[in-house]
Every structure is written in C-alpha cells, then in structure tokens.
C-alpha cells in the first residue's frame, strides 16, 4: 500500500468555512472528534506550510447547522485551550480540521499548541462550557502513518476508537480493505478455526463446530489430509499447535474450556475458564500461543468481550474487558480467531461480525485494523515468512489467502 499524501488544495477545500444561520438549539454530542494525528507523525502537511504538526478532525453528526462561537478545544497537556473564531458554522455532515500549529492561513484553523505522542486527551466544549465530546489515546498508539479516530462496524451506530492505516483528514473515516489472491473450498463442516502446522510443514490444522469430527489437517489449497475422529468436541471454535510438543489446543465455546489433544486425537487435558455470563453462544472464540514464553492468549466473543492471557501452566495472568471506547453492550464487533505473530510480537485477530482483521498488542490493545470483505470469517493464521494470512469462512466453508501488505510496520511491544 503506498503512503497516502493528501495535497494542500484538497485539504483547503475540506477546511473551508461554511456559513449558515445560527440554530436556536442543539444537542450535546452533536459535534464529535472523529480523527487525529500527533506531532510525531509525518504523513500530512498543513496547507500552505512544510510542517506536519498533527491535526484534529471534528464532524457535525447532527441534522442541523451549529455555530461554533464560544466553542473551545482543550488538550490535556496545554495551558490555554483553543478558541474557535467567531462566525464558523458547521452544516449537517460538515467536517473541519484544526491544525496543531501557530501557522495561520486563509480558511485554515490553527490551534497553536502541539499534540505530543504520549498519552493525552482532547475535550470539546460549547459556548456554555458544556462538554460536547472527549477523545483520549495512549502512547503506544502514536505511530507514523497511522491516525486514530472513531468508526462503526456492521451497520451499527456504535462508535469504536480505532487506528487507521489510511488516514482520511477532511473525509469520512474508512478502513483500508484486504483482498484475497486465492480462494479454496473446504470439505469440512462449519470450519471455524485455523492454525499453521508447528512441526514445520506447509500444512494447516482446521477445526469445525459440527457435531462429530472436529479436527482436520489440510493443505494450503484446502485438500483434506487427516481427520482426528477420536476427539469429539462440543462447539469447537479455534485451534493452535503447541510449538514445543506439537500437541493441539482447542477452544470449546459452550464449555468455556481449552482442550489439549495429541495429533492422534487422544485427549491429554483441559483448562476450564471462569467466564462471566451464561450465554452459551458468547464464550471462548480464539486461542493462540506465544512460542517465546509459551503463554496462551484467548478471547471471549462478547458480553463481555475479554482478552485473556494464561501462563504455560494455564493460570490466568490477565482477563481484561476490551470495548475500545464503546459501551459494554455495544454492537457491531465480536471477537473470533487469533494468531500470534513472532516477527512483531503482536496478535492478529479476526471478527466475523465486523468483517475486519485487527492487530493487537500482547496487552489486547488495537494497533491496526483492516476491512476484510469476506462473509462469516472466524479463523485466522499468519505466516509472516510467506507474507500471507489464511482466513476461514465458517458458513461458506472457504479458505482465503490474503497477502500481508509489504509496508506493515513494527507495531508491537
């Protein structure tokens, strides 16, 4: 993916003033902070300058015009907030940029203070000092070429705080889309998880959540090689192969359990997890292993969305709820398959509901996200040496080969 540089003329057009009558009233929250970049990021130049000071984007999400007289934008690290000039009106749907520099220009809003890369927060208040919106970020989010803002998934109105690998100042937020170079049908009922063969072959292990046979070995073109019929799992969702003893670990969603079997299908042990909630369809969906310390990572689907880390003995180290700026019951995003990436010490995750692929830190924070326009994708395996993602569609019983973009940066710890 090339680095996208937006030209100054486009940004000036996106930032031009829009004057309309002052409304009688408006609802707090009608203007949102929708995207931002910090001073440490070098992608976008301020119009009329050679500077890249960072910027904040605001959007009128209401159906009425809003006059910004008396409004302020306050950064937690600045001594003086930014006062919007009088006479600026946002029409419904209007998007404006506030540059974090002292450079002024015709039609350009400049706040006069920088936003550094470390943790911070922005607060937007109106003329009556009512808080209209707030947005915060952590230091690990500050990465050249990546902006941070809000987006919804799966047609939901819920907004999540997400990084954008393709910044879009002055435009509606969007995700860069992944594309498959190969598509293969699988002779497996309801395949829901996939992992690389850790013993060194180019083959894949797949699990399916049909009653009966649950574990399969396949080629990368989807040909069935082996069925472990001795293991009869219950609502099997994901699989990973242990990097040392080559046994298989499998998640059973309804049982809230991780089950260990050998490559003949004999059960070796299990780990029961105490997951809040009693909905059998909102249990453990993804599992992967870090080969450096043999820690397990797992995710609970939703209600609550949990990121879980266990040590090599199966003791829980962390069980954190992850809602990425949305409320706990927010829709449009579920957690599904996981795959550990040793090159960057990160975890790839897929969401069937959001139709998206995420990179997470080993603490479960989102570092990057892409649109994955494939139906019902529940499994993911990453092969950085081959530069390939393998995605599994459950209901379509399909294996997708998706190239990893060459310019994926080091995003990990």
How much is the average pLDDT of 219-245?
Answer: 94
Calculate the average pLDDT of the chain.
86
Whether residue 166 contacts residue 346, with contact meaning beta carbons closer than 8 Å, is answered with no
Res. 49 pLDDT band, cuts 50 70 90? low
More confident residue, 368 or 138: 368
The model's pLDDT over 27-41, given as tens digits with 9 standing for 90+, comes to 667 999 999 887 655
The model's pLDDT over 119-163, given as tens digits with 9 standing for 90+, comes to 788 999 999 999 999 998 876 555 667 888 999 998 888 999 999
Q: Which residues of 369-408 are buried (b: 16+ CB within 10 A; e: fewer)?
A: bbbbebebbbbbbbbeeeebbbbbbbebbbbbbbebeeeb
For the chain, the structural domain boundaries read 8-164, 182-403
The model's pLDDT over 212-222, given as tens digits with 9 standing for 90+, comes to 668 999 999 99
Q: What is the pLDDT of residue 97?
A: 92
CA distances to 9, 95, 101, 395 from 124, rounded to whole Å, are 27, 15, 18, 44
How much is the average pLDDT of 107-129?
Answer: 83
How much is the average pLDDT of 356-361?
Answer: 96
Residues with Cβ within 8 Å of residue 253, at least 6 apart in sequence: 209, 235, 236, 237, 280, 281, 283, 284, 285, 301
Q: pLDDT exceeding 70 applies to what percent of the chain?
A: 83
Q: What is the CATH number of domain 8-164?
A: 2.60.40.1260
Residues 189, 192: Cα–Cα separation, whole Å: 9
pLDDT over 70 at 287, yes or no: yes
Residues 359, 78: Cα–Cα separation, whole Å: 31
**Three-class secondary structure of residue 141 per DSSP:** helix
Kindly indicate whether the domain formed by 182-403 is annotated with CATH number 2.60.40.1180.
no
**Three-class secondary structure of residue 309 per DSSP:** strand
Whether residue 366 contacts residue 375, with contact meaning beta carbons closer than 8 Å, is answered with no
The two counts, helices (H) then strands (E), for the chain are: 1, 32
Q: What is the pLDDT of residue 131?
A: 94
Whether residue 152 contacts residue 327, with contact meaning beta carbons closer than 8 Å, is answered with no
Name the strand (E) or helix (H) holding 392: strand 388-393
């Amino acid at each position: 993916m090339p680095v996208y540089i937006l030209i100054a003329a486009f940004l000036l057009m996106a930032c031009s003033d829009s004057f309309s009558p002052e409304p009688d009233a408006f609802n707090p929250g009608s203007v949102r902070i929708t995207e931002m970049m910090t001073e440490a990021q070098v992608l976008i130049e301020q119009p009329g300058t050679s500077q890249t000071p960072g910027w904040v984007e605001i959007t009128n999400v209401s159906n009425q015009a809003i006059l910004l007289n008396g409004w302020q934008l306050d950064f937690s690290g600045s001594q003086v907030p930014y006062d919007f000039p009088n006479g600026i009106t946002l029409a419904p749907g209007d998007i404006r940029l506030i540059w974090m520099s002292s450079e002024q220009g015709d039609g350009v809003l400049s706040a006069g203070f920088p936003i550094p890369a470390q943790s911070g927060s922005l607060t937007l208040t109106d003329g009556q000092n009512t808080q209209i919106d707030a947005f915060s970020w952590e230091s690990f989010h500050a990465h050249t070429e990546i902006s941070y803002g809000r987006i919804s998934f799966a047609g939901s109105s819920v907004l999540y705080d997400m990084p954008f690998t393709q910044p879009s100042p002055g435009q509606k937020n969007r995700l860069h889309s992944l594309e498959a170079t190969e598509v293969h049908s699988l002779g497996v009922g309801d395949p829901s998880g996939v992992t690389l063969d850790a013993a060194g072959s180019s083959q894949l292990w797949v699990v399916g959540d049909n009653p009966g046979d649950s574990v399969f070995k396949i080629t990368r073109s989807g040909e069935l090689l082996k069925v472990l019929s001795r293991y009869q799992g219950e609502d099997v969702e994901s699989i990973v192969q242990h990097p040392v003893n080559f046994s298989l670990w499998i998640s059973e969603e309804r049982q809230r359990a991780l089950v260990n079997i050998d490559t003949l299908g004999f059960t070796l042990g299990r780990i029961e997890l105490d997951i809040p909630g009693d909905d059998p369809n909102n249990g453990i969906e993804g599992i992967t292993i870090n080969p450096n310390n043999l820690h397990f990572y797992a995710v609970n689907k939703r209600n609550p969305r949990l990121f879980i880390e266990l040590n090599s003995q199966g003791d829980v180290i962390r069980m954190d709820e992850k809602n990425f700026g949305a409320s706990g019951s927010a829709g449009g995003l579920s957690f599904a398959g996981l795959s550990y990436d040793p090159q960057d010490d990160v975890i790839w995750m897929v969401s069937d509901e959001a139709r998206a692929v995420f990179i997470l830190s080993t603490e479960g924070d989102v570092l990057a996200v892409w649109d994955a326009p494939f139906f019902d994708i529940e499994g993911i395996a990453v092969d950085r040496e081959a530069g390939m993602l393998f995605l599994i569609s459950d209901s379509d019983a399909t294996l997708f080969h998706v190239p990893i973009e060459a310019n994926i940066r080091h995003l990990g710890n």
